[in-house]
Amino acid sequence: MAGTQDRSILAFDEVTVRFDDRAVLDRVSFELHRGESLVLLGEAGSGKTVLLKSALGLIKADGGRIYLFGEDVTKATEQQWYDLRARMGVLFQEGGLFDSLSIEDNVAYPLLNQETLRCPEEEMARRVEQSLEFVELGHTLEKFPSELSGGMRRRVGIARAIVTEPELLLYDSPTAGLDPITAATIMALIIKGRDVRRATTVIVTHRYQDGEMLTRYRHDASLGHVVPAAANGSGPRTHYVVLREGRIVFDGSQAEMETAADEYVANFVRRPG
Amino acid sequence: MLDLIKGPILTFQEFVLLAGRATRGIFRKPYYWPDVFTQMDLIGIGSLPVVLLTGFFSGAVMALQMSRALQTYGATSQIGQIVAITLVREMGPVLTALMVAGRNSSGMASELGSMKVTEQIDAMRALGTDPVMKLVKPRLIATATMLPLLTILADFVGIFGGWIVACPLLGLTSDAQYWNNSWRSLEYNDITQGLLKPFVFAIVLSLVGCFYGMKTTGGTQGVGLATTQAVVVASVWVVVLTFLIGRIFVSM
Ligand SMILES: Nc1ncnc2c1ncn2[C@@H]1O[C@H](COP(=O)(O)OP(=O)(O)O)[C@@H](O)[C@H]1O
Ligand SMILES: [Mg+2]
């Protein structure tokens, strides 16, 4: 890992996580550099969420090493983890919106509670509003999560993830359970987040077309929406990792993904819209 | 055989770990006072009607059942003493704790359980708050202050319920004798025991409720299971602990 450490944002080295003696992650290794995107594919139950939560220090690894922002965080204390997490944004699979708090308070939560991110009240209100504008939900400040649709809740989750302007963004199954149109809207927001904020992005999904969209589109600031990226692939590098029952069975580019011989990997590519 | 007891022992170990973190947390910042007051309201005010009803009728029923036995010995004048001692030492703390276990331990388990399965607890940690400080500590503080107060009220209305049966209803003894008798019979030891018990129960009730909530897995179904487990485990702890504490006081 030496030499690449300055650019490395997130790296797993032979990470193993066990639940009840069953390895849910089995010697998982990969590396993600600053500005890159990672598409993490895998069937339900393959360990995608567990991988993401170990990267956040929410689940402790039973073996191996985890590197964040170029530092070995395997042995980090909970207090050190709070500081690390302040540099990351996350959208949880189940949303994780606090249903006792209004949308405004939900989005303001990380700014209020992360010590390293405290800011004056006016500044906070401005950032919350900006963040909600970003996901086109500026009018919902006073509402509660239960009053919003599933797609809107996802968008609030994205607003909460980006409000801290994190260096690393983690999205857990952002399009799961959404209709195709809403799913495309969410993906467009994720692309916008990646291109406008230049954040390193990890997206967990079981839908190959999410990854495809991430690779093939970019956000055009002058037009204000996503457009197909140049064919030569000058945009940010996206790489693909495929998980199967806790093991990495593929790690490579989209082109390699599309020509993969492995049946399990090829199945993701073949799966229709 | 080893496998059979491994599960419960691991669970107990996890519980002790949470209890330790929550207890240490009591003396450390941050304090989320609004959450503490919300919980106090939920436990103290919310459980008041059911606690008062239970207290009243347990006192009344005790006077009713004791009246026959006391008549046989011609000792009906002692009714106030019997009702007071049994209530303050045993029935008041235990019945109040069981009611609060049913209402509040279950409430904590289901609330924290829903938060767990919708990843709100993960989100808290990811966004800079310690769920033990934000969720467990306020519930612990609130229960530990409200349960002793509820118990005192239950004791009073219980003695009042006993009086209704003993005096206006059955005419076992005079009003003055009943109140005098019940008041005088209470010793320092009874009062200590009667207040120590709800305090200990409160710690167990709140921690058990939070513990089962926080370790919920398996979606909505898991929340139901966690709630049931919390009530059962908390209730069993109450009756076991009342015996243990009683045992210590009897030998003193
Ligand atoms: N807290 C837990 N306790 C026990 N098993 C767990 C826990 N969390 C996840 N698992 C198991 O780990 C495996 C991977 O889960 P997960 O990462 O959620 O899958 P997915 O790829 O669908 O996100 C599943 O078999 C799941 O049952
Ligand atoms: Mg998942």
In this prediction, residue B167 carries a pLDDT of 92
For an interface test with B, the pick among A48, A58, A106, A124 (most B C-beta atoms closer than 10 Å) comes out as: A58
- Using DSSP, state whether A5 is helix, strand or coil: coil
State whether residue A110 sits within 8 Å of chain B by CB.
yes
CB-CB under 8 Å, B127 with A113: yes
- Name the residue in chain A with its Cα closest to that of B116: A96
Average pLDDT for A119-138:
91
Counting from 1 in the atom list of ligand 1, the atom nearest the Cα of A43 is: 21
Distance B217 CA to ligand 1 centre (A): 10
Convert the pLDDT of each residue in B8-26 to its tens digit: 899 999 999 999 999 999 9
Q: Tokens at residue A192, please?
A: 């916008």
Tens of pLDDT, residues A227-257: 888 765 556 688 899 999 999 999 998 888 8
With beta carbons less than 8 A apart as the criterion, state whether A1 and A31 touch.
Answer: yes
Which is the closest atom of ligand 1 to the Cα of A46? 21
Hey, is A65 helix, strand or coil? strand
Tell me the nearest-neighbour CA distance from B33 into chain A, angstroms.
Answer: 15
Provide ipTM, 2 decimals: 0.91
Q: pTM of the prediction?
A: 0.91
**Which two three-digit tokens encode residue B214?**
């926080």
For position B250, what pLDDT does the model report? 81
Of A58, A97, A117, the CB nearest to B126: A58
Alpha helix (H) residue ranges in A163-241: 180-197, 208-216
Tokens at B102, concatenated:
């049913």
Interface of A with B in 45-64 (CB under 8 A): 53, 56, 58
Q: Do residues A86 and A116 touch, judged by C-beta distance below 8 A? A: yes
Q: Domain segments of chain B: what residues?
A: 32-251
Nearest chain B residue to A20, by CA: B7
**A98 Cβ under 8 Å from any chain B Cβ:** yes
Compare all CA atoms of chain A with the CA of B129 and give the residue at the minimum distance.
A113
Task: Report the C-alpha gap between A237 and A35 in whole angstroms.
Answer: 8
pLDDT band at residue A2 using 50, 70 and 90 as cut-offs: very low
Instruction: Report the C-alpha gap between A92 and A201 in whole angstroms.
Output: 14
Measured in residues, chain B has a length of: 252
pLDDT digits (tens, 9 = 90+) for B159-206: 999 999 999 999 989 999 999 999 998 888 899 999 999 999 999 999
Q: Which residues of A touch B129 (CB under 8 A)?
A: 113
Q: How far is A47 from chain B (nearest CA, A)?
A: 15
Residue A196 has pLDDT above 90, yes or no: no
Give the start-end residues of each E strand in chain A.
8-19, 22-33, 37-42, 63-68, 71-72, 88-91, 168-172, 200-205, 217-220, 225-228, 238-244, 247-252
SS3 of residue A101 by DSSP: coil
Helix H or strand E segment including A132:
helix A121-134
Which amino acid makes up residue B111? E
Mean local confidence (pLDDT), A22-42: 94
How many CB atoms neighbour CB A244 within 10 A? 17
Residues with CB under 6 A from ligand 1: A 19, 24, 42, 44-50; B 217
